[in-house]
Structure 1
Amino acid sequence: MPRNGAPTRERILDAAERLVIDNGYAATSVDRVIAESRTSKGSFFHHFASKDDLARALVERYAAADITHLYAAIAQVVADTDDPAERVIEFVRVFEEGADDLMSAQSSCLYVSVLTERELVDRGTSSQITAAIVAWREAIADLLRAALPPDSDLDAEALADHVFVTFEGAFILCRATGDPGHMRRQLGALRRLFEVLLVQGAA
């Protein structure tokens, strides 16, 4: 019976993700990934045709997990409350409360690492990131449209993008200062801004 190669593939992807986030794509060699994942060159090339193939698989996996977390948070807040404004606030709170665990698991975001690499952008790897960003925008904008007053002139999509920008900016801030607590604090600040906008502003 043939062996299931999925665990080896995932081990390679786990190692590559850590290395790319910490060092960048250009500085992450196939040999380094092989050593970090404790696999062989034969195993690597059994699962990935090239380093670029690895990059595509890496971004695809990361983006899929990212969207899964997004939809899980949406489902949680929709189940918890019928109030549209509270749904927006609680959506941010879900990630705020998980921020410390997130930052203990990774030092930055793969999106930042990939988008700063012209080599990857030129080869189309960033298209999967764009799709993930659009998914975040559409899902959060739907929450916001339901919470904003009918006569509001605020752009729900721009506000939704601001949520995503807060995440990515906080990753950079954490990395630059060496303080992972910035993620939780920035999400807390965003939550309080939404409280003022959607609850106090509507009172």
Structure 2
Amino acid sequence: MDVAQDAVLLKGFEATSIEEIVAAVDISKGGFFYHFADKNALAQALISRYIKEEDRIFDDLFGRARELNDDPLHAMLIGLKMLAELFENLPQAHPGCLVATTAYQDRMFNTEVRELNRSAILGWRARFLAMIEDIRALYPPNEPVDMGALADMVMGVAEGGIILSKALNEPSALPAQIMLFRTYLKLLFSPRLRPAL
């Protein structure tokens, strides 16, 4: 699974062959097909594993942030800072997102893989929307914003930051994008200071 994931993130699913995976892990093609009916079954297994790991990271970071501060806005700001620090401390740029990789090449996958991908995105939307709605309950936004689109923006910023990091060979681009989103969130929800009379 690790070999397959690394190859897919480096080259994409289409360019990753079953032959190279079995050669890298020193098993027969029959051994591969014992575990996976086809390449779509491998994709499902990889995406499922990736989603669980992403959810674990989000649960851990944003759960710890909430333990550090009961205020939902401050907890989210702390969680985003910890997320940026996590990516900043990677030895190389973030390897990429399997969910995004499959979305880019969705025509090569069956309905089950596409639905798994869709449910991952919807799950992340629901996660961040719940946090944002908690914030909005205490801090009305300073500008009219679609809360669902704002929740999607978390993943959009993260995926965009990964692309920038890879394209520019600048590992710091991803944490910088997360910190910019953090600033936007702070400006959007922080109570405006009223001018002194």
Q: Same fold (TM over 0.5)?
A: yes
Tell me whether 1:172 sits opposite 2:160 in the alignment. no
Matches within 5 A, 1:28-107: 28-102=16-90, 104=92, 106-107=94-95
C-alpha spacing 1:102/1:125, structure 2 compared with 1 (3 Å): farther
* Correspondence for 2:113 among 112, 125, 129: 125
Report deviation, 1:65.
Answer: 1.4
Matches within 5 A, 1:108-123: 108-123=96-111
Report deviation, 1:73.
Answer: 2.3
Report deviation, 1:97.
Answer: 0.8
1:181 maps to which residue?
Answer: 172
C-alpha spacing 1:67/1:200, structure 2 compared with 1 (3 Å): same
Percentage of matched positions with identical amino acids = 26
User: Do the aligned partners of 1:63 and 1:128 also contact (CA within 8 Å) in 2?
Assistant: no
* Correspondence for 1:158 among 134, 149, 157: 149
SS of equivalent residue, structure 1 residue 32: helix
Residues 100-137 of structure 1 deviation map (CA, whole Å, 9 limit, x = unaligned): 34573742211222111133345431222221222221
Count of residue pairs the alignment pairs up = 191
Q: Structure 1: any 5+ residue segments left out of the alignment?
A: 1-12
Residues 37-63 of structure 1 deviation map (CA, whole Å, 9 limit, x = unaligned): 233323222211222211111111111
SS of equivalent residue, structure 1 residue 180: coil
Report deviation, 1:182.
Answer: 0.6
Tell me whether 1:138 sits opposite 2:126 in the alignment. yes
Q: CA RMSD in A?
A: 2.2
SS of equivalent residue, structure 1 residue 82: coil
Report deviation, 1:87.
Answer: 1.4
User: Do the aligned partners of 2:14 and 2:108 also contact (CA within 8 Å) in 1?
Assistant: no
User: Do the aligned partners of 2:87 and 2:94 also contact (CA within 8 Å) in 1?
Assistant: no
Structure 1 CA distance for aligned equivalents of residues 93 and 116 of structure 2: 22
Report deviation, 1:200.
Answer: 5.2
User: Do the aligned partners of 1:120 and 1:126 also contact (CA within 8 Å) in 2?
Assistant: no
Structure 1 CA distance for aligned equivalents of residues 115 and 90 of structure 2: 24
User: Do the aligned partners of 2:139 and 2:191 also contact (CA within 8 Å) in 1?
Assistant: no
Report deviation, 1:151.
Answer: 5.1
Report deviation, 1:138.
Answer: 1.4
C-alpha spacing 1:121/1:47, structure 2 compared with 1 (3 Å): closer
Q: Structure 2: any 5+ residue segments left out of the alignment?
A: none
User: Do the aligned partners of 1:21 and 1:109 also contact (CA within 8 Å) in 2?
Assistant: yes
Report deviation, 1:201.
Answer: 3.6
- Deviates most, 118-127 or 172-181: 118-127
Structure 1 CA distance for aligned equivalents of residues 170 and 139 of structure 2: 40
Report deviation, 1:194.
Answer: 1.6
